[in-house]
A and B are shown apart, each in its own frame.
Chain A
């Protein structure tokens, strides 16, 4: 590893770290109530925005129907019914394994 490699790594790591750290350090708890209300909606918006493309798209294209979708469907249904963390993950993994085994 050369010195220029190390420099590149440090610059790249700052590009990852700074967007995470700045709001955490700078944003306090004295926010206007409107902003506070907006922030309450960020988590569901971001989480859904992260997961939806990973289920329905790959490399900028819509993915064709595949068997893994059954595992995601099972996860979703069990999550809505139980509203707990472990059952939907277990159900999704079980269907995923079943799909892989049956498909051979």
Chain B
């Protein structure tokens, strides 16, 4: 458990400093490694995000992603792409059939560069919610990458985060089976969450704490601060994974009722 807390603190510190949950600038000698890192970016994008990838050769790749899927590529296409790759930028919504083309494009982009930097911003319009998109797993398979270690894990906490997204200011999921935590929130929001996690979370997540058993398995703790206009803090657990989040007082009922619908019904 202390390892989890250290991971949360390290991750939040990075977000507080850089504004996103990645590793800053990614460098690679092997294009497959670079393409794999792009797959990881999609694999950590649960909530709707516009992702901008700035390659070291000054080309830029922009795409929309949600629920670990690429929904669409945003024109203009980077220069020098093959025709079938450039066609992806003219397609409103594509299906999993495009995974091979996406994998080839990412490999080519990484072959002609030595690194990239990723930035993300919330996606106001995620388009058609039924659009299948291309999943990170299918691109990973097309690149012949090893199966991600968290591909088959319980996703109940992530469903809760997605359902409550509109009410949460900052949020993060971390745990024993999470190799790529999910984060939302601005730098300041995340800093506040970091302060709280550092001061309080280790004691709440101690096996000696009376509520730990239920909290670890399938529970939620919500705290209301004494100070007016200070955000509430939420700590939810599910099968050894945890979500910490902040939300405004007015959303207490909504945040709880979504937990009840998503998590309370889960066994």
Q: Do these two chains really belong together in a complex?
A: no
